[in-house]
Structure 1
Amino acid sequence: MSRQRDEALKHKLNLEKFHFAVGIEDTFVTQTEKGERPLDEYELTGHYEQWEEDLNLAKSTGASMIRYGIPWHRIEETEGEFQWGWTDQVMNYFERNPDFEPIIDFIHYGTPKWMKKEFLHPEFPEYAARFAREFFKRYKHVSFFTPLNEPYVNAEYCGWIGKWPPYRTGLKGFSELMVQLGKGIIRIEEEVKDVRPESIAVHVDATKRYIPENSSLEEDVLLNTEISMFSWEMIQGRLGGNPVLLPLIQAHGVSDEQIKWFEQRKITPDIIGINYYPQFSVHDVKKGMDGQSELPHRMGDASDLIAIADRFFSRYTRPVFITETSFRGSENERIQWLKSCAAAVKAARQQGKKLIGCTWFPFYDLVDWEYRTSGKTAEEELLPFGLYTLNQQNGKMQRVRNEVCAEFERTMKDF
């Protein structure tokens, strides 16, 4: 099976070539148990109506791939009833444009409203697997998929800090969410591979690098690094052999039975997708006044990105795709990050490292997640990340090409 998987990967994706991609922000957190507003990025940015324009603009950059989310909450509004009308249009676009390959993002944080307790619903893994299976049965031209985007961030927001449903807190909540998400990831891949054995799974998670204030904090660095690797160790059945992570998760509710489940159902990613943002992915490690570790953000750079990629190369020996990167800031700041990122990736590939692609994410600006509780308008919550700038005009989010897009196109041609 491993050889068949790798042959399918080589057939679909030239591993000697570097692949550029873009991605459209597709966070869907529509449950509002505490009175928040639904967060549906496609709705807030007008993508449901402007999807074809958006895909044409993305394709026109010269990118060969796009990370693209499927709005599960709209397709399966009623349990077991799938409404594919809107999705049919979008998937038909990709069938007509085979040189622009989608990486289908099945779950990007949210579930349908009927799923009480959201990810902690006991049948979540099976419901998620059913959704993915139905998708792949219907769209036979799709090859690449991500079962569940950023399990670390998902478990953090839903299980550790309690900002999103089901509002758990602490390491126990984080571990509980992570186990459920991991089961969902594996069940999705099992069902998709059953329908389409030659499909290619791009597993995606947020990444972290921790920089200690002094050498006495190395153990804190190691522990937090392993927490950030939880999802990767879990789905590959490696939790039981991780001497740093295992005692922590066992102390916070992960049972021997659950660990054994992952060992028996373990999967190997076809492609490892790492998400790296210089403003969010790197942390100092310090001791606070109370003696507890503090992890403030620090500005990262391209060397941090390569160090993170090296961790994945050495540990898992799979091809690595940068599935998200960008910079929140002025056009000049974004351009500088793009240049430094590209230079670092070029150097890494010249050293023989199997870095196979990079994704600018998001393609156009996004609405801040704080929209759920801020009371501000979507326009007031726009964050400057994109190759296209969003401007609200006459009740419509306009897409305006900016200088970052021009630099992105130059970068692809010069690579």
Structure 2
Amino acid sequence: MKSFLTNIKAHFGDGNYEGDEFGGARGHDGRGLPTGLPNNFMFATGIECSNPTIDNGRTRRDMLAECGHYDRWQEDLALVKSLGLKVLRYGLPYHKTHLGPGRYDWEFADLVMAEMQRLEITPILDLLHFGVPDWLGNFQNPELPVHFAEYAGAVARRYPWVRYYTPINEIYVTARMSAKDGVWNEQLKTDKGFVTAMKHLVAASIMATQQIAKHRPDCIIVQSESAEYIHELRATPSPQITLDNKLRFLSLDLLYAHHPDGDVINYLYDNGMTRREYDWFMAGEPPGYQIMGNDYYGRNEKIILPNGEICTSMDVLGWYNITLEYYRRYRKPVMHTETNVFEAHNGPTWLWKQWVNILRMRDEGVPVLGFTWYSLIDQVDWDIGLSRKVGKVNPCGLFDLDRQPRPVADSYRQLLEEYGQITIVPHGELFEVTDAPATLKVEV
């Protein structure tokens, strides 16, 4: 009896069968710059927009100003476009835009948003990045959730085409640096101040999301949070470090209505959270499609030596292991929302290491939706956490402050050319009903 292959060869030839290019062995494998289709993996960068105050509120650290973005915003957006990127984490200057209850200055925001729309760049709109307008004071203000919700609703009304939002960037870091470490804004160093800032920030994020959802019921909320861990090298772990390693989850626990451990709940009650407030947070999740964004820098991990000395561990667990812990806790789709290194010559290697982490996570079946090199241009004074106005340039951007490419820009472009058209999840084209044929032939 003849083999069935003999008949196939007689009718269709020996390989390269007509029709197989539509998602079969001869289909597309995900190479090429991003297309911007909804099922594309979201490759992004961000424009550094932190604006906390220091010196007891007397000095504003406005990174959009210090990095030259107010004067060179058109050039910066063109750089995003030139790399082939379709997604940009972008923060409107909250302290300049929200002038008071019901009062706004949209002049700068309107210009930038119109250009972004013209360039077909999808913004993940960042509404609060470490600071508030002077008239709101700081994060100890119990009126923050109401006023910030009003602002978020106004933004959603003014830019109805925007779907992706980060209502409040790195809530945990914001509360810790402002009220526990004494560096920014209220500059407190108390547990009560930390808990107060935390509950006001999370409540503001929830209320803002509700106002956004009124105008965009299909809103996608990318909650960017710092992925951290402290390694304590002592035979008997200290209660404080054990608690600190749990408090890193606190913002997401409150945001996603996930009950913390008992010692954390006791800590909250001991430091000013009422049972009524706690029950309000645990009532349920905020609206919209929720994405858990994890920011990871090697300096996020710290090692405490037996003698109490602290050193930066740089990538002991790494983004993969730390984020996997967060994912198992919340079961939310994941995005790598920030990373960089301060040494420009190490940028390309760090980029590829982060990408290996993402590929490994996707191989485990965890839905990783996007990756962000943060930021587009170099930053200023982040080696000291903006604590003093020194003006030292941190060469961590894709481009320097003269808008010339760093080595990592070439590496990112190479990464985009190789993987730019992979889908959000392997075979993700299945989950978007369009007239387009299936294309991907490999799982990445």
Could you state the TM-score of these two structures normalised by the residue count of structure 2? 0.81
Where do residues 339-350 of structure 1 align in structure 2 (5 Å cutoff)? 339-350=352-363
Alignment of 1:231-250 (within 5 A): 231-239=251-259, 241-250=260-269
Deviation, 1:248, is 2.1
Are residue 284 (structure 1) and residue 303 (structure 2) matched?
A: yes
Cα distance between partner residues in 2 of 1:372 and 1:335: 25
Question: Is the counterpart of residue 106 in structure 1 residue 117 in structure 2?
Answer: no
The aligned counterpart of 1:299 is 314
Provide the residue aligned with 2:150 in structure 1: 130
Once the two structures are superposed, the pairs formed by residues 320-399 of structure 1 within 5 Å of their partners are: 320-331=334-345, 333-369=346-382, 370=384, 374=388, 376=390, 378=391, 381-390=392-401, 398-399=402-403
Q: Is the 8 A contact 2:256 2:330 kept in 1?
A: no
Distance 2:192 2:307 in 1: 23
Secondary structure of the corresponding residue to residue 102 of structure 1: strand
- Once the two structures are superposed, what CA deviation does each residue of 1:5-32 show, in whole Å capped at 9, x if it has no partner? xxxxxx9842xx4321000110012475
Equivalent-residue separation in structure 2 for 1:194 and 1:285 (angstroms)? 46
1:24 aligns with 2:24: no
Amino acid at match of 1:68: Y
**Residue type of the partner of 2:50?**
T
Q: Could you say what secondary structure the match of 1:335 adopts?
A: helix
Q: How many angstroms apart in 1 are the aligned matches of 2:131 and 2:226?
A: 17
The alignment partner of 1:346 has SS state of helix
- The structure with the largest alpha-carbon Rg is 2
Structure 2 residue matching 1:389: 3-state secondary structure: coil
Question: In the aligned structure 2, how far is the partner of 1:83 from the partner of 1:356?
Answer: 34
Cα displacement (A) at 1:220 = 6.0
Q: CA deviation at 1:219?
A: 6.4
Q: Which has the higher contact order (CA 8 A, sep 6+)?
A: 2
CA distance in 2, matches of 1:31, 1:131: 24
Shift of 1:65: 0.7
**The residue matched to 2:265 in structure 1 has which SS?**
helix
Q: Structure 2 vs 1, CA of residues 88 and 319 (structure 1 numbering), >3 Å: closer, same or farther? A: same
Matched, 1:159 2:179: yes
Say whether residues 1:48 and 2:70 are aligned partners: yes
Q: Report the Cα distance in structure 1 between the residues aligned to 2:47 and 2:219, rounded to whole angstroms.
A: 22
- Could you tell me the TM-score, scaled by structure 1's length? 0.86
Q: Determine if contact 1:237/1:259 at 8 Å carries over to the other structure.
A: no
Structure 1 residues 79 and 372: CA distance shift in structure 2, 3 A? farther
In structure 2, what is the Cα distance between the partners aligned to 1:264 and 1:224? Answer: 25
Give RMSD over aligned pairs.
2.3
Q: 1:353 to 1:102 in 2, by over 3 A?
A: same
Gaps of 5+ in 1: 1-10, 391-397
Counterpart-to-counterpart distance in 2, 1:160 and 1:282:
18
Letter in 2 for 1:228: R
Structure 1 counterpart of 2:396, one-letter code:
F
Q: Shift of residue 195 of structure 1?
A: 1.6
Q: Structure 1 residues 258 and 295, CA, compared in 2 at 3 Å: closer, same or farther? A: farther
Q: 1:51-200 maps to which residues of 2 (within 5 A)?
A: 51-98=73-120, 100-116=121-137, 118-200=138-220
Query: What does the per-residue CA deviation read over 1:88-133, in whole Å, with 9 as the maximum and x for residues that have no partner?
Result: 11111222233x21000000011111113x2222211011011110
Task: Using the TM superposition, name which of 341-350 and 367-376 deviates more.
Answer: 367-376
Q: What residue is the counterpart of 2:441 in the other structure?
A: none
Q: Deviations over 1:161-217 (max 9, x none)?
A: 111121221222111110111111111111111121011111111111232325532
More helix by share: 1
Provide the C-alpha distance between the structure 1 equivalents of 2:274 and 2:67, rounded to a whole number of angstroms: 42
| Identity level (%) | 27
Mean Cα deviation higher: 136-145 or 350-359: 350-359
Contact 2:160 2:215 in 1 (8 A): no
Alignment counterpart, residue 403 of structure 1, candidates 404, 407, 421: 407
Q: Which runs of 5+ in 2 are unaligned?
A: 1-35, 420-444
Return the match for 1:264 from 261, 265, 283: 283
Q: Give aligned pairs, total.
A: 382
Task: Find the aligned partners of 1:34 and 1:112 in 2 and give their Cα distance.
Answer: 11
Residue 371 of structure 2: SS of its match in structure 1?
A: strand
CA distance in 1, matches of 2:230, 2:250: 15
Is 1:317 paired with 2:327? no
Distance 2:268 2:108 in 1: 41
Q: Offset of 1:295 from its aligned partner?
A: 5.3
Deviation at 1:218, TM superposition (A): 8.5
Whether 1:225 and 2:229 are equivalent positions in the alignment is no
Distance in 2, Cα, partners of 1:28 & 1:375:
13
* Aligned residue type for 1:23: G
TM-superposed deviation, 1:142: 0.4
Q: 1:322 to 1:218 in 2, by over 3 A?
A: farther
Q: What is the CA–CA distance in structure 2 between the aligned matches of 1:264 and 1:55, rounded to whole Å?
A: 40
Shift of 1:373: 6.0
Cα shift at 1:400: 1.0
Q: Deviations over 1:134-168 (max 9, x none)?
A: 01001011010001001111111111011112122
**Using the alignment, how far apart are the partners of 2:225 and 2:97 within structure 1?**
24
Q: 1: CA distance between counterparts of 2:57 and 2:154? A: 32
| CA distance in 1 between partners of 2:312 and 2:301 (Å) | 6
Supply the distance in 2 between the matched residues of 1:414 and 1:221 (Cα, whole angstroms): 42
Paired residue for 2:431?
none
Moved more, 342-351 or 192-201: 342-351
- For residue 353 of structure 2, what is the amino acid of its counterpart? S
Q: Give the equivalent residue in structure 1 for 2:232.
A: 212
User: Which residue of structure 1 aligns with residue 15 of structure 2?
Assistant: none
